[in-house]
A and B are shown apart, each in its own frame.
Chain A
Amino acid sequence: MAPQSDATKPAAPNRTETFVWGIPQNGLQSKERQVGRDEPPPLPANSELTYIGKPTERYDGPAKAMGKGKYTADINLPGMLYARMIDATIPHGRIVSIDTSEAEKLPGVRAVHVIEHVYGVAELRDPKMEAPSRYPVIRYYGQPIAGVAAISQQIANDAAQLVKVKYDTLAFVVDRSDARAEDAPMVFPGPADAAGSAGGGGGPKGVPQTGNVHGPQQKKNGDVEKGFAEADVIVEGEYFTQVQTHSALETHGFVVDWKPDEVTVYASTQGTSSVRNEFADVFKLPKNKIRVITEYMGGGFGAKFGAGNEGVVAANLSRKANAPVKLMLDRRQEHIVCNRPDSHQKLKVGAKRDGTLTAIALTSYGTAGVGTGAGTAGPANNMYKCPNILTEEYDVFVNAGPGAAFRAPGHPQGCFAFEQTIDDLAAKLNIDPLTLRETIDENPARKVERQIILERTNWRNRKPAGSDSGPVKRGMGIAQSVWYRFVNMNSSCEVRVSRDGSVELLSAVQDLGTGTKTMLAVIVAEEFGIPPASVGIRIGDTRFPIGPDSGGSVTAGSITPAARNASYQVKQKLFAAVAPQLGTTADNLVLKGGRVAFKNDPSKSYTLKQVTAKMPTDEISAQATRVAEYSKERITYGGVDYVELAVDTETGRVHIEKVFGAHDCGRPINPLGVISQINGGILQGISYALFEQRIMDRNAGYMLNANLENYKILGAREVPEIEVVLVENYIAQSSTDAAGIGESAGIITLAAAIGNAFYNATGVRMRKIPMTPANVLSALGKVQEVQA
């Protein structure tokens, strides 16, 4: 998760304000909150606002479409060198020697750096369990070993081929179930733990470990034995999900310019702050000597925080060569350095005849390769009311690249199992799945979302499971998601107003393609009554006030209050500065509809430019930092997704024909951006459910499909009709009430919704993803199950 701040501690109150509260479909209510002195007045509902809540085109869309947006890979500095990472060619073993002499002799090579420490993987609790070596132990095929920098990428690539590594190989295992065997090769000789990143991931620390099995992390509520004894019906299920790789369009990479007075780092990152922090830690530098820049970013999905091995190598090469160095991973490396762990889950759910849940028990095993963080219990623990819950999550080490936070860590896997089990329960109780959820789900937003699904989809015409005759069978299904409100207090913005009337916002926060720039422009635009496109947005640079790392859907909820507060405060400063010239006092001025007017005499009003022209200095600015949540109330977000599909039972193809999603994320700031995120989440969810899977060669420990040809991602022809409805949910927690949508955007639900629709179509429960022809035909009993 994101660094969880003390956001629930209320700020020093000194006034009471009345906020809009609740969900419009239920009738909006009001809520009184104590707020700090510098807080702007409460925002009314979106329907009463000019820019907030209205669709706004992407701020940097034209620049991106015209190729003018410079991503990290596009950064070219004078005298810059090109680097190539050198990776292990065995899955497990010890490095005996590394000979870089031939590489160093190649004309054009400027520096070689051999890695001393591997980041982003689990580490032995007791490092003494392994014999000391100057080289890290190789635990996966593709583990970075060294980097080389040269005057061209071709020379760097050639030089990488000349580095000779000698290994002592060790036995290895790449399959999760093989790794659980008592006599399995040990990935670590003793207990090992992995730290999470700023985006989450990482498993529990200090839990028991037997062989390669790390855990369990146990979460217990009530008494499940008692709960199952009280149940009228019990459903059980076993589910399997695959390893998914992030496959961000822009691979991981850095351009590092190491200068004695400042290290400048261009990073493809989700967290400029996380990069600066890790550079400071690794290189023992004060933070004022590190500048991190991420102006345009080509996707991360959770896997791009901190310096990473590639950042550390690029920095070392730059320092050694005394020149800027660009190091972008290639596509194969990108597939190997991060992933969503797989899972094997056993679920048992007990309920009364009316559907009331009495007990939930989940045991899950998953592999995050040489990392941890394969837990799947989020949905089971947090979606429905149930007095007795027991979840036990195990990580299984294998010799494969480490797992990393990946869009709603653990939740797509967990939801695939849990929401299908709930569907099984509905079938067993002979209750409509939507109706069952009315009984067990207390979340008010999802209640509205289910109603929308009921009214606007074909749900009422749903036929009993397996009704269709003929080879092609149609069905529909739903699944729900849950995500959490995380706030990162390291969220600051500066807003400047210039004498010419132009307004700009500065913050180190980055836009990883999710629309952060647009959202910030909308916030400033609303406060000043000027079009969003006219606001200057300068972000993604640690020279600006600190921004939150973008993981766990924290960005919108963390940074927009700072942006609004800074806008509001600079406006108050502006009023104070010009009031004497206007012949009034600051508190008599109000900015509305793009004009500054006298409160006591609305006939007196000026354009913003007329007012700024009277500023005593050329610029007025204010900086604001995220203040604590207004109250301690906890809320979760979520959505309900509906899928219509056709299963061709003779080809094993699953055709998704329609997806209808109803989602909530507090107050939507830019609905166009939010819906775009949900469209993306739905497509990524379909891709996860039907196509994507890492394929490891069991005999070599090598990823066979580390490319975009055989690692299959949904394409244009697989895109169904998608309709998305946003449910506004005003929570009176901050000056914007915004929240992120990255996680609960469809990626969590789609595999489960597709599974439920598959069952409705065929009467057969899909217990394994991806739903490829091999897996589907096997589930339908058309062919024998594929081994491993």
Chain B
Amino acid sequence: MNKFVFVDCKTVDEALGQMSDGAIVKAGGIDLLDLMKDGIVTPPKLVNIRNISSLQGITAGKDGLHLGPLSTLSEIAAHPEIQKNYTALANAAGHAATPQVRNMATLGGNIMQRPRCWYFRSSEFDCKKKNGASDDCHAHTGENQYHAIMNNETCAMVHPSSTAVPLLAMNAQVELTSKRGKRTVAMSEFYVPPEKSLINETVVQPGELITGVFVPVPEPGTRSAYQKYGEKESFDWPLADAGVVLVMDGTHCRKAWIVLGVAAPTPIRSTAAEAVLTGKTIDEATARAAASAAMKDATPLSQNGFKTQLFQTAIYRTVLLAAGQMQPDPSAIG
């Protein structure tokens, strides 16, 4: 790990004043320290925002859910209002990583995680994403069992944030603050796909800090769920995950949002799957049809065809879970 300056900030203004010359913001430090230990990022300065009290706290009211970006995943998972009205978010936060990690990891850090790709995360490999000279996507020609099965033509990394999945399904918004002021970005606009930019993974600009995450009040009849699937239950990265938000009228589905996590370089909505459910009665057949529609345009690589099957399972079972027609799946992980 490189030597670096560590600045401990108590206020947002103080932090904004420190965020220059390649400084990286540190909240929980979970992903950042791994990246530093592996030599993937070598910041000269860490701006510690962990102790900024205005970035902490969760309030759930009539106008929606306000999440301080320093809310830990444990706090989100344990929050009664989130469990009740924003269930998928509580599920996603509560099943990420391990209990120890969830106690340290923050919401802001979780959505700002760098992508999972073992070529990206090894300093032995060079690629365009790392500003490198090599034109190759090593995943395309190499070992890609854990890589993206959709939108993977430019870069086959996957985005690992589990909370981003329900946040996207719930039309959340992210508040960004810089010295120039504040702006609000919808989750649907937050991530930048590799075909638009290989370097910028989010719309967050240098000098900008996430100062809030807002989730609007769900429509009456909303039910939601999130589940993830993979190789093992204890501390593993998902190979497929699905966030489902349904607006239900009995068993009739009025509206549906289906978001897939590690299918692509960014969390993506499956409008094809949503279309299958909208206006229909939810049962196993419609849930499976939605799952199948979601995978219709998948473009798996040489070794990850199984992920399309895993996603279909994740989607149909999570739709049924959200609709209250299935218990939480013992085959889900985390």
Query: Contacts A648-B331, A716-B234; is A704 near B118 (CB within 8 Å)?
Result: yes
Specify which chain A residues have a CB less than 8 angstroms from the CB of B306 in the assembled complex.
Answer: 652, 773-774, 777-778, 782-783, 786
Specify which chain B residues have a CB less than 8 angstroms from the CB of A782 in the assembled complex.
Answer: 306, 309
Q: Which of A44-52, A187-195, A310-318, A693-701 contacts B (4 or more CB under 8 A)?
A: A693-701
Identify B142's interface contact among A698, A705, A710, CB under 8 A: A698
Interface residues on B, range: 20 to 34
| B303 and A717 form a contact (CB under 8 A) | no
Specify which chain A residues have a CB less than 8 angstroms from the CB of B313 in the assembled complex.
Answer: 650-651
Q: How many A-B residue pairs have CB under 8 A?
A: 96
Identify B232's interface contact among A690, A695, A777, A783, CB under 8 A: A690
Give the distance to chain A from B245, nearest Cβ to Cβ, in Å: 22
| A700 and B303 form a contact (CB under 8 A) | no
Task: Return the CB mask of B134-148 against A: 1 if under 8 Å, else 0.
Answer: 000010011101100
Most chain B CB inside 10 Å of its own CB: which residue of A690, A691, A782: A782
Whether B305 is near chain A, meaning CB under 8 Å from some CB there, is yes
Task: Return the CB mask of A702-733 against B: 1 if under 8 Å, else 0.
Answer: 10110001101011111000000000000000
Whether A573 is near chain B, meaning CB under 8 Å from some CB there, is no
From 635 to 658 in chain A, residues with beta carbon under 8 angstroms from any chain B beta carbon are: 648, 650-653, 655
Query: Contacts A655-B331, A699-B138, A773-B306; is A718 near B118 (CB within 8 Å)?
Result: no
Whether B122 is near chain A, meaning CB under 8 Å from some CB there, is yes
Give the distance to chain B from A358, nearest Cβ to Cβ, in Å: 40
Specify which chain A residues have a CB less than 8 angstroms from the CB of B310 in the assembled complex.
Answer: 651-652, 773, 777
| A772 and B231 form a contact (CB under 8 A) | yes
| A786 and B145 form a contact (CB under 8 A) | yes
Identify B234's interface contact among A648, A651, A702, A717, CB under 8 A: A717
Whether B230 is near chain A, meaning CB under 8 Å from some CB there, is yes
Chain A residue with Cβ nearest B236:
A712
Whether A18 is near chain B, meaning CB under 8 Å from some CB there, is no
Give the distance to chain A from B38, nearest Cβ to Cβ, in Å: 9
| A699 and B142 form a contact (CB under 8 A) | yes
The SS class assigned to the A binding surface is: loop
What is the bound-complex CA distance between A699 and B122, given in angstroms?
A: 15
| B305 and A714 form a contact (CB under 8 A) | no
| A774 and B303 form a contact (CB under 8 A) | yes
Whether B308 is near chain A, meaning CB under 8 Å from some CB there, is yes
Give the distance to chain B from A746, nearest Cβ to Cβ, in Å: 19
Chain B residue with Cβ nearest A161:
B39
| B122 and A655 form a contact (CB under 8 A) | no
Give the distance to chain A from B269, nearest Cβ to Cβ, in Å: 23
| B234 and A718 form a contact (CB under 8 A) | yes
Query: Contacts A650-B313, A700-B124; is A718 near B303 (CB within 8 Å)?
Result: no
What is the bound-complex CA distance between A690 and B146, given in angstroms?
A: 16
Query: Contacts A651-B313, A698-B142, A698-B143; is A787 near B302 (CB within 8 Å)?
Result: yes
Give the distance to chain A from B35, nearest Cβ to Cβ, in Å: 13
Whether A264 is near chain B, meaning CB under 8 Å from some CB there, is no
Whether B125 is near chain A, meaning CB under 8 Å from some CB there, is yes
Whether A784 is near chain B, meaning CB under 8 Å from some CB there, is yes
Identify A655's interface contact among B229, B308, B330, CB under 8 A: B330
Identify B309's interface contact among A705, A714, A718, A777, CB under 8 A: A777
Whether B239 is near chain A, meaning CB under 8 Å from some CB there, is yes
| A714 and B145 form a contact (CB under 8 A) | no
Give the distance to chain B from A160, nearest Cβ to Cβ, in Å: 12
Specify which chain A residues have a CB less than 8 angstroms from the CB of B118 in the assembled complex.
Answer: 704-705, 710
Specify which chain A residues have a CB less than 8 angstroms from the CB of B141 in the assembled complex.
Answer: 699
| A700 and B125 form a contact (CB under 8 A) | yes
| B234 and A773 form a contact (CB under 8 A) | no
From 221 to 273 in chain B, residues with beta carbon under 8 angstroms from any chain A beta carbon are: 229-237, 239
Task: Return the CB mask of B287-303 against A: 1 if under 8 Å, else 0.
Answer: 00000000000000011
| A650 and B309 form a contact (CB under 8 A) | yes
Chain A residue with Cβ nearest B3:
A154
Task: Return the CB mask of B268-282 against A: 1 if under 8 Å, else 0.
Answer: 000000000000000
What is the bound-complex CA distance between A774 and B300, given in angstroms?
A: 13
Whether A89 is near chain B, meaning CB under 8 Å from some CB there, is yes
Chain B residue with Cβ nearest A774:
B306
Chain A residue with Cβ nearest B2:
A158
| A787 and B143 form a contact (CB under 8 A) | no
Query: Contacts A714-B234, A786-B305; is A651 near B229 (CB within 8 Å)?
Result: yes
What is the bound-complex CA distance between A718 and B334, given in angstroms?
A: 11
What is the bound-complex CA distance between A717 and B97, given in angstroms?
A: 13
Most chain A CB inside 10 Å of its own CB: which residue of B141, B229, B231: B231
| A774 and B145 form a contact (CB under 8 A) | yes
Task: Return the CB mask of A337-352 against B: 1 if under 8 Å, else 0.
Answer: 0000000000000000
Task: Return the CB mask of A648-671 against B: 1 if under 8 Å, else 0.
Answer: 101111010000000000000000
Give the distance to chain B from A140, nearest Cβ to Cβ, in Å: 14
Specify which chain B residues have a CB less than 8 angstroms from the CB of A772 in the assembled complex.
Answer: 231
Give the distance to chain A from B238, nearest Cβ to Cβ, in Å: 11
Task: Return the CB mask of A23-42 against B: 1 if under 8 Å, else 0.
Answer: 00000000000000000000
Specify which chain B residues have a CB less than 8 angstroms from the CB of A716 in the assembled complex.
Answer: 234
Specify which chain B residues have a CB less than 8 angstroms from the CB of A778 in the assembled complex.
Answer: 306
Specify which chain A residues have a CB less than 8 angstroms from the CB of B138 in the assembled complex.
Answer: 697, 699-700
Chain B residue with Cβ nearest A787:
B302
| A783 and B330 form a contact (CB under 8 A) | no
What is the bound-complex CA distance between A774 and B143, given in angstroms?
A: 13
| B124 and A89 form a contact (CB under 8 A) | yes
What is the bound-complex CA distance between A742 and B104, given in angstroms?
A: 38
Specify which chain B residues have a CB less than 8 angstroms from the CB of A709 in the assembled complex.
Answer: 237
What is the bound-complex CA distance between A416 and B219, given in angstroms?
A: 54
What is the bound-complex CA distance between A698 and B302, given in angstroms?
A: 13
Specify which chain B residues have a CB less than 8 angstroms from the CB of A717 in the assembled complex.
Answer: 232-234
Query: Contacts A650-B313, A773-B239, A774-B303; is A691 near B232 (CB within 8 Å)?
Result: yes
From 338 to 382 in chain A, residues with beta carbon under 8 angstroms from any chain B beta carbon are: none
What is the bound-complex CA distance between A480 and B229, given in angstroms?
A: 32
From 121 to 168 in chain B, residues with beta carbon under 8 angstroms from any chain A beta carbon are: 122, 124-125, 138, 141-143, 145-146
Most chain B CB inside 10 Å of its own CB: which residue of A89, A698, A783, A784: A783
Query: Contacts A655-B330, A702-B124, A783-B309; is A773 near B142 (CB within 8 Å)?
Result: no
| B124 and A773 form a contact (CB under 8 A) | no
| B145 and A715 form a contact (CB under 8 A) | no
Give the distance to chain A from B102, nearest Cβ to Cβ, in Å: 15
| A715 and B303 form a contact (CB under 8 A) | no
Specify which chain B residues have a CB less than 8 angstroms from the CB of A653 in the assembled complex.
Answer: 229, 231, 331
What is the bound-complex CA distance between A598 and B298, given in angstroms?
A: 87
User: A interface vs B, CB < 8 Å?
Assistant: 89, 472, 648, 650-653, 655, 690-691, 695-700, 702, 704-705, 709-710, 712, 714-718, 772-774, 777-778, 782-784, 786-788
16 contacts between A and B (CB under 8 A): A651-B313, A652-B310, A691-B231, A697-B138, A697-B142, A698-B142, A700-B138, A704-B118, A714-B234, A715-B232, A718-B232, A773-B239, A773-B306, A783-B309, A786-B303, A787-B302
Q: Beyond the given A698-B143, A705-B118, A774-B304, could you list 19 further A-B residue pairs with CB under 8 A, ordered by the A residue number?
A: A650-B309, A652-B306, A702-B125, A704-B118, A710-B118, A712-B232, A715-B232, A715-B233, A715-B234, A716-B234, A717-B233, A717-B234, A773-B310, A777-B309, A777-B310, A778-B306, A783-B305, A783-B306, A786-B303
User: B interface vs A, CB < 8 Å?
Assistant: 118-119, 122, 124-125, 138, 141-143, 145-146, 229-237, 239, 302-306, 308-310, 312-313, 330-331
Smallest CB-CB A-B distances: 10 pairs: A715-B234, A717-B233, A717-B234, A648-B331, A650-B313, A774-B306, A783-B306, A651-B331, A704-B118, A777-B306
